[in-house]
Amino acid sequence: MNVTNRIREQLNGLELRRLDGPSSRQAAVLMAVVMRSEHPHFLLTRRTQTVATHKGQISFPGGVREYEDTTLVDTALRETHEEIGVEREQVSVLGEFHDYLAVTDHLVRPVVGLVSPEATFRPQQDEVQYLLEIPFVFFRETTPSVERRFRNGEFRNVYSYDFNGENVWGLTARMIKEFLDVLR
């Protein structure tokens, strides 16, 4: 079974964690997957220092749900187009993943999507400094560093991966770790 079908099958069979938290603000990210030489990679962005939140951090493309977004899938695809120029027709949605509560108190839903190898990337200069493609195998073979932090009345693990001097941490690292744990 190829990687794409395996991901789709795993997501379809997963009992998803949905949050009805205190947040009225919803957001979505595209857990963008690109295939390079038949190996899956995550497509990530390095945010600029001029964006409103998460300055300089590595993240998946995404953002806040807007009025015209019928679903959070629409949000993820719209934001991906706005941030990195990928047309929604160039993304094959494989499924959705668990909900997360961000430090900004936004409910964040990852949408997993396979980006066409023909896609043209046009990073939006005010938001995206550059793109990174990091192979799944790196995250599978690397043990993240873990820091315990107290938030909202409980301790949480904050994961961090160092990839060639790039620090993937926080919510993005947590999503990646939990997603790849599901795929095992």
Query: pTM of the prediction?
Result: 0.94
The answer to whether position 179 is within a domain reads no
Looking up residue 73, the CATH number of its domain turns out to be: 3.90.79.10
Please name the residue that has the structure tokens 């997603």: 179
The answer to whether position 183 is within a domain reads no
pLDDT in tens, 114-164: 999 999 999 999 999 999 999 999 999 999 999 998 877 888 899 999 999
The answer to whether position 156 is within a domain reads no
The answer to whether position 166 is within a domain reads no
The first and second tokens of residue 53, run together, are 């939140």
The first and second tokens of residue 146, run together, are 């873990």
The answer to whether position 154 is within a domain reads no
- How far is Cα 110 from Cα 32, in angstroms, rounded to an integer? 9
Domains in the chain, number: 1
| pLDDT higher than threshold 80 for residue 20 | no
- Structural domain of residue 119, as residue ranges? 3-141
Helix, strand, or coil (residue 13): coil
Cα 74 to Cα 65, 77, 82, 117, 183: the distances in Å are: 8, 5, 12, 21, 24
Q: What share of the chain is helix, strand, coil (3-state, %, to 5)?
A: 25, 40, 35
The answer to whether position 164 is within a domain reads no
The first and second tokens of residue 22, run together, are 């205190």
Q: What is the DSSP letter of 131?
A: E
